[in-house]
Amino acid sequence: MASLPVVALNGALAGRASRGYLERKALAKARIQASKLCRRFCTLGWASSAGGGIAVEVRRDSVPRSNRLIAAGRRPGARKDRVMPDYMYGLSANGSILPLPSPKLYSSKPPRCMSCLSFCTKTGKGAASYANIRTYVKAGALNSDNRTEPLPRCVVLDIEGTTTPISFVTDVLFPYARDNVGRHLSATFETPETRDDIKLLRSQVEDDLKQGVQGAVPIPGDEAGKEQVIAALVANVEAMIKADRKITALKQLQGHIWQTGFENNELEGVVFEDVPKALTNWHSLGIKVYIYSSGSRLAQRLIFGKTNYGDLRKYLCGFFDTYVGNKKETRSYIEISESLGVDKPSDVLFLTDVYQEAVAAKDAGLKVLILIRPGNGPLPENHGFKTVSSFLEI
């Protein structure tokens, strides 16, 4: 960038740079907005190289510019379309570096702070320069017309194909449940938890037999003996898994089987690289994040509680499963939006990889984005939804 745009933000009162102030949301928002602007400028072709930097002022009119804080800097060598909030430093108006970006994301070294302050203080009195761009961005996201869009109050995430590779579910979780269902039932047959699982499966299989569902076999009563009951249960569960059925009876049992696997360190959740970064960003902006999956709430907590990026549950406010309804039915999303306490359904952003789920959520009034991830199925032509390949594009 030949010269540096300075973008003013509404922020908290910036007097002395106390630790309490530095940990408030104003500076965090400025860092997030600076990284968004870097990516936007790169997309528009204004700043395509790795050189240059950007500074964002945490602003309130009642505070003299000499007392305001600035989010500035960039990770050396990083293209601007890859700049993240963690790459940005906090600066005081006199050039003092305040909170350093965390070094843990970058091996042993934090990113170096670029020489951005000279652009912000070239009057010699700490007054910010607005020579190029005088843009005031409230809490919102820049769109392609350089206008602002309100951030969602809540984000609801699908798991399979959205936060997590489909291959992890189909090649790891499902086989683990299928291979261990007999062992699990034998070891826990008399526990209240498993008795409840068996009751749900009996009810589901009875309905399946009436409807002629392929693979359904009768489950004998307990008087037939434990081994025969378990054998019938295993046959039904294997058929349900093979058909990838999204039913509560199956998902509840799978969750309990996976719990054993996670507790024994035989399983670890997998999420895409952009997921923890996006969760951190949304959390810093006060956006509440929820999960809606056909997997049980227990299974959801297990997956995010022990991932390849650590425990991510601290960023999640709640979990929805098939008890709220089928994921391809509009009523399910109406129920979710009503339970989140938002003013209107459009305050909720739903992220999924499944077209039918996107249609159902849109019909309920939610905002929707479809994820294009490796291994995801094709979408219909002219599907009409915006798509992204990473949460960081949102």
Residue 124 predicted with pLDDT over 50? no
Whose tokens are 């392929």? That residue is 214
The predicted-structure confidence for 178-200, as pLDDT tens digits, reads as follows: 999 999 999 999 999 999 999 99
In the three-class reduction of DSSP (H, G, I as helix; E, B as strand; rest coil), residue 349 is classed as strand
More confident residue, 314 or 111: 314
Domain boundaries, given as residue ranges, for the chain: 6-149, 154-165+269-393, 168-263
Residue 208 predicted with pLDDT over 90? yes
Provide the pLDDT confidence category of residue 347 given band limits of 50, 70 and 90.
Answer: very high
Q: For residue 16, report the phi and psi dihedrals to the nearest 5 degrees.
A: -70, 145
Catalogue the long-range contacts made by 319-323 (C-beta closer than 8 Å, 24 or more residues apart).
319/290, 319/291, 319/292, 319/293, 320/156, 320/290, 320/291, 320/292, 320/293, 321/248, 321/251, 321/292, 321/293, 321/294, 321/295, 321/296, 321/297, 322/246, 322/247, 322/248, 322/251, 322/294, 323/248
The whole-angstrom separation of Cα 156 and Cα 327 is 12
Give the pLDDT confidence score for residue 29 in this predicted structure. 75
Give the pLDDT confidence score for residue 134 in this predicted structure. 32
The whole-angstrom separation of Cα 327 and Cα 357 is 6
Question: Are 196 and 213 contacting, i.e. CB atoms less than 8 angstroms apart?
Answer: no
More confident residue, 152 or 128: 152
Q: CATH says 154-165+269-393 is which class?
A: alpha beta
**What integer is the mean pLDDT of 250-264?**
92
Provide the pLDDT confidence category of residue 146 given band limits of 50, 70 and 90.
Answer: very low
Give the pLDDT confidence score for residue 58 in this predicted structure. 67
The sign one gets for the Cα dihedral 164, 165, 168, 171 is positive
Give the pLDDT confidence score for residue 33 in this predicted structure. 77
- Residue 359: both structure tokens together: 């249609």
The whole-angstrom separation of Cα 246 and Cα 240 is 9
Residue 13 predicted with pLDDT over 60? no
One-character DSSP codes across 56-67: EEEE-TTS-GGG
One-character DSSP codes across 268-283: -B---THHHHHHHHHH
Give the pLDDT confidence score for residue 367 in this predicted structure. 97
Give the pLDDT confidence score for residue 101 in this predicted structure. 55
The sign one gets for the Cα dihedral 311, 264, 294, 358 is positive
Give the pLDDT confidence score for residue 244 in this predicted structure. 86
Q: 37 burial class (0-12, 13-18, 19+ CB within 10 angstroms)?
A: buried
First to last CA, the chain: 24
- Residue 368: both structure tokens together: 């929707």
**What integer is the mean pLDDT of 155-160?**
97
The predicted-structure confidence for 33-49, as pLDDT tens digits, reads as follows: 777 777 777 666 666 55
Q: For residue 123, report the phi and psi dihedrals to the nearest 5 degrees.
A: -80, -10
Residue 103 predicted with pLDDT over 60? no
Question: Are 165 and 272 contacting, i.e. CB atoms less than 8 angstroms apart?
Answer: yes
Give the pLDDT confidence score for residue 191 in this predicted structure. 94
The predicted-structure confidence for 219-241, as pLDDT tens digits, reads as follows: 999 899 999 999 999 999 999 98
Q: Where are the alpha helices (DSSP H) in the chain?
A: 19-22, 25-43, 117-120, 166-168, 174-188, 192-211, 226-242, 248-263, 274-284, 297-305, 330-339, 355-363
Give the pLDDT confidence score for residue 129 in this predicted structure. 35
Give the pLDDT confidence score for residue 132 in this predicted structure. 33
**What integer is the mean pLDDT of 287-297?**
93
Q: For residue 166, report the phi and psi dihedrals to the nearest 5 degrees.
A: -60, -35
Minimal CA–CA distance to 238: which of 265, 214, 259?
214
**What integer is the mean pLDDT of 118-134?**
37
The whole-angstrom separation of Cα 278 and Cα 220 is 49
Residues of the chain above pLDDT 70, percent: 66
Give the pLDDT confidence score for residue 36 in this predicted structure. 78
The predicted-structure confidence for 355-374, as pLDDT tens digits, reads as follows: 999 999 999 999 999 999 99
Give the pLDDT confidence score for residue 138 in this predicted structure. 38
168-263 folds as 1.10.720
Beta carbons within 10 angstroms of residue 84's beta carbon:
22
Q: For residue 63, report the phi and psi dihedrals to the nearest 5 degrees.
A: -105, 125
Give the pLDDT confidence score for residue 72 in this predicted structure. 60
Residue 119 predicted with pLDDT over 90? no
Provide the pLDDT confidence category of residue 319 given band limits of 50, 70 and 90.
Answer: very high
Give the pLDDT confidence score for residue 95 in this predicted structure. 54
Residue 262 predicted with pLDDT over 70? yes
Give the pLDDT confidence score for residue 32 in this predicted structure. 79
Minimal CA–CA distance to 156: which of 20, 360, 305, 384?
360
Q: What is the pTM of this model?
A: 0.60
Give the mean pLDDT of the chain.
Answer: 78
What Cα–Cα distance (Å) separates residue 165 from each residue in 106, 239, 274? Answer: 24, 23, 12
